[in-house]
Amino acid sequence: AHRSILHCRKTKNNKFYKDNIAVPYKNPIDKRILKRLANGSKGRMPYDWFFFNLVKNVSREKTFHACQIPQKLSEMLIKSCTMHKDIVLILFGGSGSEIEACKIFNRQYISAEIDEKYYKMIIDRLNEGIIEEKYNL
């Protein structure tokens, strides 16, 4: 299974922070790589596809939300496009993965969630710092 995620922008002033999500070089002893590292490179650009395990019924982070996104994916997306104290707009609060990532990485956020049961789960998740047992499948 896969999900398509688009990174769209309106202007040429694109905010994408490669160093926040740099992947270690596969051959760090190569002289070209050593030169890059000496010049301050933190790693290579990630591929244009990412692999994260799905959130399944047996996953530790699984809630009763039907379309839950893996926490690691939320973290990578937020780190790649924001810096500390930037404001992130999260239109669909869902299980709260993106909101929790904002808190972890010191980003401000504005979020919305129309479903009251998800809203309550998000509030409890933020207050307690964990996904409470009552929200697990």
Range of the domain at 79: 50-135
> Would you state the structure tokens that stand for residue 49, as one six-digit string?
């596809």
How many domains, in total, are found in the chain? 1
Could you tell me if residue 30 is inside a domain? no
| Whole-number Å distance between alpha carbons of 127 and 131 | 10
Closest listed residue to residue 80, CA positions, set 120, 53, 107? 107
Could you tell me if residue 10 is inside a domain? no
Could you tell me if residue 27 is inside a domain? no
Could you tell me if residue 31 is inside a domain? no
Could you tell me if residue 38 is inside a domain? no
The three-class DSSP label of residue 44 is: strand
Q: Is the pTM of this model over 0.85?
A: no
> Would you state the structure tokens that stand for residue 44, as one six-digit string?
């290579």
pLDDT at 125: 87
Closest listed residue to residue 72, CA positions, set 95, 91, 55? 55
CATH number at residue 84: 3.40.50.150
Could you tell me if residue 89 is inside a domain? yes
pLDDT tens digits, 51-102: 777 787 777 778 888 788 888 989 999 999 999 999 999 999 988 999 999 9
